[in-house]
Amino acid sequence: MAEATRRRVPDGSAYGRPEQHADYELTQVGPRTPCGELMRRYWQPVGVSAQVTSRPQYVRILGEDLILFRDKSGRPGLLYPRCMHRGTTLFYGKVTDEGIACCYHGWLFDVEGRCLRQPCEPDGGRNLDVARQPWYPVEERYGLVFAYMGPPEKKPVLPRFDILENFAPDEEIRAYMGAFGATGDTSMPIAPYSWLHMNDNVMDPFHVYVLHSTFTGVQFANQFAVMPRVDFFTTDAGVCYSAKRVLDDGREYDRISSWIMPNIMSVPNPIDINQEKSNMITWSLPVDDSHFTMATASRVPKGMQEGLFANGGFRLNGKLWHEMSIEEHQDTPGDYEAQAGQGPVSLHTEEHLAGSDRGIIMQRRILKQQIQIVAEGGDPAGVAFDPANALVKIRSGNYYVAHA
């Protein structure tokens, strides 16, 4: 990284600068890529349960196009879209109690890809048991449908998160998917850049002070307009930051945020710092190398309005983010502008990581270590094969620091 920088001409002219490129080890997520293999060892959300119906839908995740549906018995299914017979898409299929029937010649597949019927063949198909439409296992939890796209013999237990367990009667789960404005402004279901931009952002407490608080105005809580004292620390399977600030009233408060292998974050409430424990888990989900989306499951008061913090709660002259002009975006950039501004896939060889990037350096180091472990046949950090070990404890929250 530094090497490419050093080769620049001494007067800093843009002329003759070396070619730059992404850190492909972390940005390529398709099948058979190192990071793609790592990602495939974890359950990844692919849909919101309530939106997975008998109407087949395309989902694109980790560079693979798949068909997601729910059969009329209520089971969700995730199949390779090209029918194994002669390759038309199951997008036009008809969902039944038993599975999905291809529109072309009616081959019927269940949610695990078993071929149940071939109507044009003698006896409805004599060799059904040798036919199998490629499929992935799915499970539902926290209002999301999760898929496991890795090697079947390595399938871990779908994890639980302590902050999403044991609901009080007046609480409920809320799940949504979308890159930006997912809470009420669904103008951008998928964002046109790498998952790593958002993943970096999670362990970057300093941009909260600049981008969200002092550059143009307050986009989240007022209290973030104070430079924090920051520590980073590793956890069992991730990194946390602690950002301490002394508030106007003299109290000190500590904002703890978490990143969990390989693409999970738990961020404390960014609008109301009096909400102590974080109430949400979010996946920064690679759609492919240069697109991502997010899936969030959050614990909310029953009946809470949608739009808890559309575009980080930020409106300009009453406008939602997608209603703003280019000039208004220039005048009031937020996460989308900063991250999309890094390009479809950032050029990591020309970065100049500094002391404030320590959390990002830690994250990337862990990701690379775990990519290596998977490449050597091991199991990556944070996967559990016994339900007794599948509870992830989350530290994230807004905490007042007690001084003796």
Q: Which does 335 bind (CB under 5 to 8 A by kind): ligand FES, Fe ion, none?
A: Fe ion
SS3 360: helix
Which residues make beta-bridge pairs with 47? 145
Residue 104 makes contact with ligand FES by CB under 6 A: yes
Q: Does 126 bind ligand FES (CB under 6 A)?
A: no
Segment contacting ligand FES by CB under 6 A, of 105-113, 242-250, 354-362, 391-399: 105-113
Using a 10 angstrom Cβ sphere, with 0-12 exposed, 13-18 middle and 19 or more buried, the burial of residue 154 is middle
* Minimum CB–partner distance for residue 78 and ligand FES (Å): 18
Sole binder of ligand FES in the list 42, 69, 80, 107 (CB under 6 A): 107
Minimum gap (Å) between residue 53 Cβ and ligand FES: 21
To ligand FES, the closest distance from the beta carbon of 231 in angstroms equals 57
Q: Hey, which residues between 200 and 259 contact ligand FES (CB under 6 A)?
A: none
Q: Are 196 and 203 in contact (CB under 8 A)?
A: no
25-45 burial by CB neighbour count: b if 16+ within 10 A, else e? bbbbbeeebbbbbbbbbbbbb
Q: What's the Rg (C-alpha) of the chain? A: 23
DSSP string, 260-321: ETTTEEE---SS-TT--B--EEEEEEEEETTEEEEEEEEEEETTPPS-TTGGGG--BTTB-G
Task: Give the one residue of 102, 188, 285, 362 binding ligand FES; rule: CB under 6 A.
Answer: 102
Residue 133-172 contact track with ligand FES, rule CB under 6 A, x = bound: ----------------------------------------
187 binds ligand FES (CB under 6 A): no
* # residues contacting ligand FES (CB under 6 A): 9
Contact flag: residue 88 with ligand FES (CB under 6 A)? yes
Site residues (vs Fe ion, CB under 5 A): 335
16-45 positions binding ligand FES, by CB under 6 A: none
Pick the piece of the chain touching ligand FES (CB under 6 A) from 98-106, 131-139, 149-157, 390-398.
98-106
DSSP 22: -
Distance CA 209, CA 286 (A): 27
Query: Angle formed by the axes of helices 358-375 and 195-202, to 10°?
Result: 130
Q: Closest separation between CB of residue 193 and ligand FES, Å?
A: 35
Burial class (CB in 10 A: 0-12, 13-18, 19+), 105: middle
Q: Report if residue 86 touches ligand FES, rule: CB under 6 A.
A: yes
Nearer residue to ligand FES within complex by CB, 104 or 206: 104
For the four alpha carbons of 145, 95, 186 and 194, in that order, the dihedral sign comes to positive
> Given the rule CB under 6 A, which residues bind ligand FES?
83, 85-86, 88, 102, 104-107
